[in-house]
Amino acid sequence: MSGYSRISWLLLAALLSFSTISIASEDRVYRYHSKNGTLSFSDIEPIDTYYEEVNFGCYACGVYSEIDWLETKLYPNAFADEIEEAARYYRVDANLVRAIIHAESHFRVNAISKQGAQGLMQLMPATARELGVRDPFTAKQNIQGGVKHLAKLMKKYYGNIRMVSAAYNAGEGNVKKYNGIPPFEETKVYIERVEILHKRYGKLIRT
C-alpha cells in the first residue's frame, strides 16, 4: 500500500466518524510516522516525533456558507510552479486547477475530509494510488495526480467545466446515474463556487 498502513486508515476513519464533535470543538488530529515507518493518525499530540496537524473539510462544499465567493481572497502565487507544470503537461487550464484547489482545500497541503480525501486536490486514497500518487500530502504529487484526473474528466465530458466539477465533487458514478449534474445541494453550490473562482483567477492571471 505504498507505505500506508491499513490499520492507520481505519483508525483515522474512526476519528473522522466523531468529527462533527471534534471539528466543532476545534479538537485536533495529528499525522506522523510511527517507529516502523507507517503513516499514523491520532487526536493526541505525539511526543518525541515529528508530526503535522491535519486540517479538515472541503472549503467550498458547505451548503450554507457565509463566504462571499465574489470577494474572498485569492492565492495566485500559491504552488504556482507545481500548478503551471502539471497544467502544461496535461493541457488543463491552470486557473481551473487553482479554482479546484481553492474550493477543495483552500490551499492547505494537509487537508483531509470526513470521507478521507487528502491534500490540496482532495484525492481519495484509492484514486491517489490509481494516479500514481505515493504521498498525497506532498504538494507536487497531489497536484500532478489531481490535474491528471482533471484532464481525464475534461476529455470524458468534452470540456464542459460544470460537468467536470460535478464529477470531481460527486463522482463519475453519480453523474452517470443522473445522466448529468446530480441533484445534490452540495454539488450544486460546489459547481457555482468553482465557476466563480475559475473566472476570478482567470481575470487575475492571464494564461
Which residues participate in catalysis according to the annotation? 104
| DSSP output for 78-119 | TTHHHHHHHHHHHT--HHHHHHHHHHHHTT-TTEE-TT--BT
Inter-residue contact 9 to 42 (CB < 8 Å):
no
Inter-residue contact 144 to 86 (CB < 8 Å):
yes
The three cell numbers locating residue 176: 452517470
Q: What is the DSSP letter of 73?
A: P
Question: 51-56 and 111-112 as β-strands: parallel, antiparallel, unpaired?
Answer: parallel
Cα–Cα nearest to 98, from 146, 167, 30: 146
As a whole number of angstroms, the distance between CA 83 and CA 180 comes to: 28
